[in-house]
Chains A and B, each alone.
Chain A
Amino acid sequence: LLPCEVLASRPAPVQRFFTPAV
């Protein structure tokens, strides 16, 4: 759950760019 609103719903290379960290 992101603390911002991305104004689109679409495919996105999440795995490549987003590294979840605690």
Chain B
Amino acid sequence: ARQHVFLLPEYLKDTSKKMKSGLMFVKLANPCSGEGVIYLFNMCLPQLFEIKVFKEKHHSWFINQSVQSGGLLHFATPMDPLFLLLHYLIKADKEGKYQPLDQVVVDDEFPNCILLLKLPELEKLLRHVTEDKEISNKKYYKYSKEKTLKWLEKKVSQTVAALKTSNVNVGARVQSAAFFSGSQVSRDKEDYVRYAYGLISDYIPKELSDDLSKY
């Protein structure tokens, strides 16, 4: 059987022991490209993880007393499920009406998207990106672009802070002292925002990314 090497947060280690199929790998629509990519659900918490793979040619693994070709290294990173829910909310928005979530988050191609509905505190989360109405104890949601842009702006500034603490080099590739116009600080700030915006744009549809850029 194929073996995979994963870097996971420590606390996930005994999840699969605590609960059968405590960890589930599912394919869902990538919120930027729409193509199917692998995510990991920790059903105990529950919590959503993005899976990224480090892929470099000509590698293999020795795993205990076996060899595994390919040498891929998978990373599981906690991910804000709103990015995946947005994908469906925007799609549903075309109908221009308020809808219950279980009619919005449906996908013949990726039926496991309903697992998103099991994630905790969804209502709280959805307030960042939708207008909602309650009719006879049932919640109806409608995508709100301005709320979403406001939410994304917060994401960008959180990412700027994270980039600074983790010393990621965001400087424009080709830079020489001669071109330094204005104060270094303002250029830095702009570089960080541009870089963070680029990262966030990997997780939202193209047109929303363009709106965010203007915003």
Direct contact of A and B (CB under 8 A): yes
Chain A interface residues (CB < 8 Å from chain B): 1-15, 18
- Once the chains are docked, how many angstroms separate the CA of A18 from the CA of B60? 14
Interface residues on B, range: 10 to 19
Asked whether A14 lies within 8 Å of B62 as measured between CB atoms, the reply is: yes
B interface residues, Cβ below 8 angstroms from A: 2-3, 57-62, 64-71, 73
Nearest to A4 among chain B residues (CB) is B58
CB distance from A22 to the nearest CB of B (A): 16
Q: Given A6-B60, A14-B62, are A1 and B73 neighbors across the interface (CB < 8 Å)?
A: yes
Q: Are B65 and A1 in contact (CB under 8 A)?
A: no
The CA-CA distance from A9 to B64 in the complex, in Å, is: 12
- Contact status of A3 and B69, CB under 8 A, knowing A9-B2, A9-B3: no
Contact B65 A5 (CB under 8 A): no
Contact partners of A18 in chain B: CB under 8 A? 62
- Choose from A5, A11, A13, A15 the contact partner of B60 (Cβ within 8 Å): A5
Q: Is the CB of A11 within 8 A of B59?
A: no
**Inter-chain pairs besides A1-B59, A5-B70, 12 sampled, C-beta below 8 Å:** A5-B59, A5-B71, A6-B69, A9-B2, A9-B3, A9-B66, A9-B68, A11-B66, A12-B62, A12-B66, A12-B67, A14-B67
